[in-house]
Structures are given as structure tokens and as C-alpha cells.
Amino acid sequence: MYIKQLIWIVIGLLWVAITAFDTGAMAEENKCIACHRNITPGQVADWESSKMSKNGITCSDCHGVKHKNSKDSNLARLPDEHVCAECHEDQFDQFVKGKHNYGWTTLNALPITHMEPDELMEGGKGCGGCHNMGVKTKVQKKELLDKGYRYRVNSCDECHTRHAFSKNEAQDPKACQQCHMGYDHPQYEMWSSSKHGTRYFVKEKGKLPEKAAAPTCQYCHLPNGTHENRTAWGFLGVRLPLPADKQWAADRVTILKALGVLNPETGKPTARLDIVKAADLARLTDDAWKIEREKMTKICAGCHSGQFARRHLEMGDRMIKHADRLMAEGIEIVARLYKDGTIKKPDHYPFAYPDFFYFKRTGGSYIDQVLFRMYMKYRMRTYQGVFHANPDYAYWYGWAAMTKSLDEIKELDRTMRATHKNN
Ligand code: HEC
Ligand code: HEC
Ligand code: HEC
Ligand code: HEC
Ligand code: HEC
Ligand code: HEC
Ligand code: HEC
Ligand code: HEC
């Protein structure tokens, strides 16, 4: 009887001792979770599912302790990538060296960004929804706040979403889909309907043995868990120095003029070349290009023969050359219409010349729209489709649509010139 009571007393004393040793931070933590279990139960459940919660990382580790009740939630810190870096320095350092770190900067370097509704940029409902990538500078963060946008300071959660912050999620190609899809970069569509993607899905369903090879986006672009990403040709499909082939070199110069990187009148570099350099928009030396090409060839050669890999990648390069021929022809036709006054220079264009940096804001000339679409949608698909081993994208959605666009441009050119003379 006495022994039982004694045991209870000891247990009671131990409990008091444990709670007394409980730190202040721990008490704060329980409050965050207790209250948020009612306020935002989904987030608490997410966090509970995470590996971090199992390792004792709690709300206040990321959000601080200043916000304490229902009325002062604006005091909660929204953690940027530097907060993650406190514990994940390696991933942070790799990420900063890669192309993703330039997402926000390149977006803001384009003139179009400052002509469209803020909702589509800072608000993240359009371009900004995908370009919330990379560590923002203090100036960029202040601009967001000034415009009334408090969120979207972190981009680590673009692949392992809050608050599960799961490695598994980020390893799935679907983690890339939201951004790498659609109009000008349908890599998810191309990969998922290529043999590589088909194999991945078949394997997922257990119809191929677990060991069967099926490369994912991550396998080719973030190999061995790295967070640094960059390709040889990049998005724009241009690079320096100019190629030895004279026609290809001339065609690339024409494209660089339409990108506004070269002055169409003098052929000299414009201030935009500085943007290209600063945001690593293109590889500017042979070495920079070769480093990326070599890395990729090695990855392919893990499953295919080295020769097979090189030949396929070189076919991609040659398709850029073919595509550039069509593209340059189109640009030159539209440029002549500007030059002889058949179409007028939109006020916001720096030169009387097509300007792809303004995206679809062409200022009213339909033929310029057709040209822009040929560049942004179809030229991209032509080589992206080849590189991602997708026959239909390379041909019907890419090359065939380019030739059709060029025909349309020629037809429009004829009718516009005929009606212009009649006026
Ligand atoms: C007494 C309840 C309560 C406690 C305790 C509490 N919160 Fe909150 N928290 C809220 C409410 C209410 C909101 C606002 C929700 C809304 O906007 O609908 C909020 C919002 C937030 C936000 C979002 C801020 C924003 O700008 O949207 C974060 C982050 C947050 N809390 C974290 C924490 C952390 C970390 C703790 C503990 C240090 C904590 N909360 C403690 C009630 C609480
Ligand atoms: C206070 C330290 C700390 C901070 C801050 C922190 N983490 Fe973690 N994180 C950890 C620990 C500890 C683990 C578990 C490590 C392990 O098991 O190897 C972890 C694991 C992870 C994982 C792997 C999860 C898995 O499924 O294997 C991801 C992803 C991650 N953190 C992302 C983030 C992001 C994003 C941020 C910033 C928003 C962040 N972490 C902030 C400590 C931290
Ligand atoms: C659906 C998501 C999405 C939207 C919307 C989007 N982008 Fe992008 N953007 C991307 C992705 C993904 C890339 C990289 C594609 C690639 O390399 O093939 C990219 C690339 C770029 C690049 C080139 C970056 C480089 O270094 O090569 C610029 C500039 C750009 N986008 C500007 C914009 C602007 C301006 C808008 C809005 C008018 C916009 N984007 C809308 C996802 C998006
Ligand atoms: C590993 C870091 C980390 C931990 C731990 C963490 N959060 Fe967050 N939380 C974030 C990040 C990152 C964001 C997004 C910031 C931004 O806007 O870019 C965020 C945003 C939020 C938001 C506002 C955005 C939204 O989706 O509503 C709330 C509310 C919030 N967290 C609550 C919590 C609560 C409650 C906990 C604890 C159960 C918690 N967080 C734990 C990193 C963390
Ligand atoms: C483009 C998508 C993407 C973004 C953005 C991203 N990650 Fe990851 N992360 C991944 C992938 C994929 C993995 C799985 C790597 C592997 O297979 O080992 C991963 C894994 C991790 C892990 C687990 C490492 C391990 O092996 O346990 C941590 C921690 C992590 N990321 C932190 C971060 C931080 C911090 C940031 C922001 C600076 C970030 N990630 C941004 C895709 C991303
Ligand atoms: C939130 C949107 C978003 C997500 C999610 C995302 N990306 Fe990106 N990605 C971008 C943007 C934006 C760019 C262009 C960055 C710039 O402006 O330089 C880009 C660039 C790239 C590039 C570099 C292309 C070049 O120019 O060389 C690669 C490769 C890439 N992403 C792969 C991936 C992979 C793989 C995943 C999934 C694990 C992924 N991305 C997830 C938005 C995203
Ligand atoms: C089998 C390997 C492989 C897989 C899988 C793969 N890619 Fe690629 N990707 C490439 C190659 C090769 C290039 C062109 C590299 C060059 O410029 O030399 C490329 C280029 C890119 C680029 C730059 C622009 C372009 O398309 O040429 C982006 C962005 C990109 N891939 C994203 C993705 C995404 C997202 C996925 C998954 C949906 C994916 N890739 C799947 C091999 C792959
Ligand atoms: C993880 C393994 C793996 C990697 C890495 C890989 N592939 Fe594949 N690839 C395959 C498999 C398996 C097939 C299906 C072969 C078949 O059709 O029998 C395939 C099919 C192809 C095909 C279409 C079928 C054919 O034989 O012509 C092309 C083209 C291709 N790969 C090119 C590449 C290129 C280029 C790279 C690197 C950018 C690459 N692959 C990386 C496994 C891989």
C-alpha cells in the first residue's frame, strides 16, 4: 500500500522536475502548435509529416518567436533561403551557383515585366509564379514589400513544398511540372511522352523491374543530389563565340539583333549584353559551353554508349542551326517592313526592328506577332524536343510549325506590301 503511494509520489515529483526543466522556447513552441492546430490544421499536419519535425525542428526555428497571439501575426518572420542555409549550407551553396538562382533577376531584367499587372509578377499569378526562383536581394525584397506583397521570399519550397519539405517529393519529375511546361518550355510534356518518361511511368506501376533504367529530370539535370543546374544551350538557344559556319553565324547575328543584344543598325553590342552576362542567360565562351555538354554526355553514357550520346546531342545542335536559318529569314522579312515604313515602330521599341525581349507586347502589328510566336513557341520546341528525345514535339509542334509560320509571314508580307502601295 505505502509502496504504491511512494511510487506515485516519485512519478509526480519526476513530472514536476521535467516540466520545470522545460525551456521557455519549448513552451513557446507548444503554444504555436496548439493554437495553429485550430487556425491552420493542414500546415501542422504537414509539418508533423516532415523529417524535420521528427528531428525537433519546430515552427519558431523558421518563423521566430516575436508573433505570439492572434493579433500580431504580422510579426511572424517569413524565412528566406538564408534561414534554410543555417542548417543546409551545401544545398544552399549549390543552388546559388545554378541557374535557378537567376529566376527572379531575369524576370525583372525584361522590359515586359514592368508593363504588365503586378498580380502577374510580384503577385505570382503569371510570370512571377514560376520565376520565384533564387535568393532575392534586399532591394528586390523591399520592392515586393513596397508593392504590398509579403510572401514568396523563399524558393526552396518550390520543389519540396512547405511544410512537408520532403526529399521524395522533390525527386519526382512532377515537382518540376508547374514551371517546366506549356508555351515556350514544355519539358514536362516532352519528357513524359518520350521513351524516357514512358519507362519511368511503367516502372512506377511495377510493370518493369525496379532496377530498369528510366532517367528523370533530376537524374539528368540535378545529378547526384546537386542543387546546381545549367545546360549548354540554355533557354534562348544562342551562344558565343559565333560558329565557324558562315551562314549559321550570320543567322545567329540576326537573332541576336532581334533579341536586342546587338544594335540592328550598327551590329555593336547594346546594354542588354550586360543583362545577358549578369544573369548567365547564355554561355559566352566555348569552355563554358563544353563543360555543360561534357557533364550531360557522361550522364547519357551511364545508360547508352558514349557515341550514341554524342551523336544524339549533336543532332540537337544541328537542329538549332536549321531552325536558325528559318528564323533569320522570318526576322529579315519583318525587319524590311519596319525599315521601309510598311509597319510602324511601336513607341516602346528601341529600334525599328523586331524585339523579342518585349514578348507579345508588339504594339499592334500582326506579322510581328507571328514572328514572335515562331521564335518563342516553335523554335524552342524544335530543339527542346530533339534534346528530350520527343519525336512529335521536335517535328509537328516544332519544325513543322516553324515552316508554316514562315509561309504565313511571307504571305502577309506580300499582301501588306500590295495594300501599302495602293494607299
Ligand atoms: C493564440 C494563437 C496563436 C499562437 C499562439 C501563434 N499563432 Fe501564428 N497565427 C495565428 C493567427 C490567428 C494567424 C493569422 C491567420 C490568418 O491570417 O488567417 C497566425 C499567422 C501565423 C503565420 C503567418 C503569417 C502571415 O503573414 O501570413 C505564421 C508564420 C505563424 N502564425 C507562425 C506562428 C509561430 C511560429 C508561432 C509560435 C512562436 C505562432 N504562430 C503562435 C495565431 C497564433
Ligand atoms: C535549425 C536547422 C534547420 C533549419 C533552419 C532547416 N532545416 Fe531542413 N532539416 C534539418 C534537419 C535536422 C533535417 C533532418 C536531417 C536528416 O535526417 O538528415 C532536415 C531535413 C530537411 C530535408 C530533407 C527531408 C527528407 O524528406 O529527407 C529538406 C528537404 C529540408 N530539410 C529543407 C529545408 C528547408 C527548405 C528549410 C528552410 C525553409 C530548412 N530545411 C530549414 C534542419 C533544419
Ligand atoms: C509556367 C512558368 C513560367 C511562366 C508563366 C513564365 N516563365 Fe519564364 N521561364 C520559365 C522557365 C521554366 C524557364 C527556363 C526554361 C528553359 O530553360 O527552357 C524560363 C525562362 C525565362 C527566361 C530566360 C532565362 C534564361 O536564363 O535563359 C526569361 C528572360 C523569362 N523566362 C522571362 C519570363 C517573363 C517575362 C514571363 C512573363 C511574361 C515569363 N518568363 C513567364 C518559367 C516560366
Ligand atoms: C523549416 C522551416 C519552417 C518550419 C519549421 C515551419 N515553417 Fe511555416 N513557412 C516556412 C516557409 C519557407 C514559408 C513560406 C515563406 C514565403 O512566403 O516565402 C512558411 C509559411 C508559413 C505560413 C504562411 C503561408 C501560408 O501558406 O499560409 C504559415 C501560416 C506558417 N508557415 C505556419 C507554420 C507553422 C504553424 C509551423 C509549425 C507547425 C511552421 N510554419 C513551421 C518555413 C517553415
Ligand atoms: C529545383 C528543385 C529544388 C529546389 C528549388 C530545391 N531543392 Fe532541395 N532537393 C531537390 C531534390 C531533387 C532533392 C533530392 C536529391 C537527391 O536525390 O539526393 C533535394 C534534396 C534536398 C535535401 C535533402 C538532402 C539529403 O540528401 O538528405 C535538402 C536538405 C534540401 N534539398 C534543401 C534545399 C534547400 C535549402 C533549398 C533552397 C536553397 C532547396 N533544397 C531547393 C530539389 C530542389
Ligand atoms: C517554381 C518554378 C520552377 C520549378 C518548380 C523548377 N524550375 Fe527549373 N527553372 C525555372 C526558371 C524560372 C528557370 C530559369 C531561371 C533563369 O531565369 O535563369 C529554370 C531553369 C532551369 C534549368 C536551366 C536551363 C538553362 O538555362 O540552362 C534547368 C536545367 C531546370 N530549371 C531544371 C529543373 C528541374 C529538373 C526541376 C525539378 C526538380 C525544376 N527545374 C523545377 C523554374 C522552375
Ligand atoms: C535523358 C536526360 C534528360 C532528361 C530526363 C530531361 N532532360 Fe532536360 N535536357 C536534356 C538535354 C540533353 C538538354 C540540352 C542540353 C544542351 O543544351 O546541350 C536539356 C535541356 C533542358 C533545359 C534547357 C532548355 C531546353 O529544353 O533545351 C531545361 C530547362 C530542361 N532540360 C528541363 C528538363 C525537365 C524539367 C525535365 C523533366 C520534365 C527534363 N529536362 C528531362 C536532357 C534531359
Ligand atoms: C538512366 C538511363 C538513361 C539515361 C541516363 C539516358 N537514357 Fe536514353 N534511353 C534509355 C532507355 C532505357 C531507352 C529506351 C531504349 C529502347 O528504345 O529500347 C532510351 C531511349 C532513348 C532514345 C530513343 C530510342 C532510341 O534508341 O533512339 C534516345 C534518342 C535517347 N534515349 C537519348 C538519350 C540521351 C541523349 C541521353 C542523355 C541526355 C539519354 N538518352 C540518357 C535510358 C537512358
Measured CA distances, 240 to 233, 264, 273, 281 (Å) = 10, 18, 11, 11
pLDDT of residue 121: 95
Over 90: is that where the pLDDT of 385 sits? yes
Q: Whose CA is nearest to atom 35 of ligand 4?
A: 36
Over 90: is that where the pLDDT of 29 sits? no
Burial of 17 (0-12, 13-18, 19+ CB in 10 A): exposed
Cis peptide before 241 (omega within 30 of 0): yes
Cβ-contact 159, 170 below 8 angstroms: yes
Q: How far is ligand 5, taken at its centre, from the CA of residue 170, in Å?
A: 7
Which atom from ligand 6 is nearest to the alpha carbon of 222?
35
| Residue 166 CB–ligand 7 contact under 6 Å | no
Higher pLDDT, 70 or 423: 70
Cα–Cα–Cα angle for 387, 389, 391, rounded to 5 degrees: 115
pLDDT band at 22 (very low <50, low <70, confident <90, very high): very low
Nearest to 64 by CA among 81, 83, 46, 50: 83
Cβ partners under 8 Å of residue 58, min gap 6: 29, 32, 33
Which atom from ligand 7 is nearest to the alpha carbon of 296?
12
- As a whole number, the mean pLDDT across the chain is 93
pLDDT tens, residue by residue, 406-419: 999 999 999 999 99
Cell numbers given for 90? 551545401
| Residue 53 CB–ligand 3 contact under 6 Å | no
Over 50: is that where the pLDDT of 54 sits? yes
pLDDT of residue 314: 98
Cβ partners under 8 Å of residue 248, min gap 6: 321, 324, 325
Over 60: is that where the pLDDT of 203 sits? yes
What residue type is 391 in one-letter code?
P
Q: Whose CA is nearest to atom 38 of ligand 4?
A: 44
- Return d(Cα 190, Cα 394) in angstroms, integer: 9
Half-sphere exposure of 213 (CA within 13 A, CB side): 9
Q: Average pLDDT for residues 294-319, to the nearest whole number?
A: 98
- Which of 43, 141, 153 for a ligand 4 pocket mutation test, highest count of atoms within 8 Å of Cβ? 43
| Residue 223 CB–ligand 6 contact under 6 Å | no
Cell numbers given for 396? 509537328
Q: Average pLDDT for residues 156-185, to the nearest whole number?
A: 98
- Return d(Cα 249, Cα 251) in angstroms, integer: 5
pLDDT tens, residue by residue, 320-378: 999 999 999 999 999 999 999 999 999 889 999 999 998 877 677 999 999 999 999 99
pLDDT of residue 10: 62
Cβ partners under 8 Å of residue 138, min gap 6: none
Q: How far is ligand 1, taken at its centre, from the CA of residue 162, in Å?
A: 15
Over 70: is that where the pLDDT of 111 sits? yes
Q: Whose CA is nearest to atom 2 of ligand 6?
A: 130
pLDDT of residue 233: 98
Which atom from ligand 5 is nearest to the alpha carbon of 222?
12
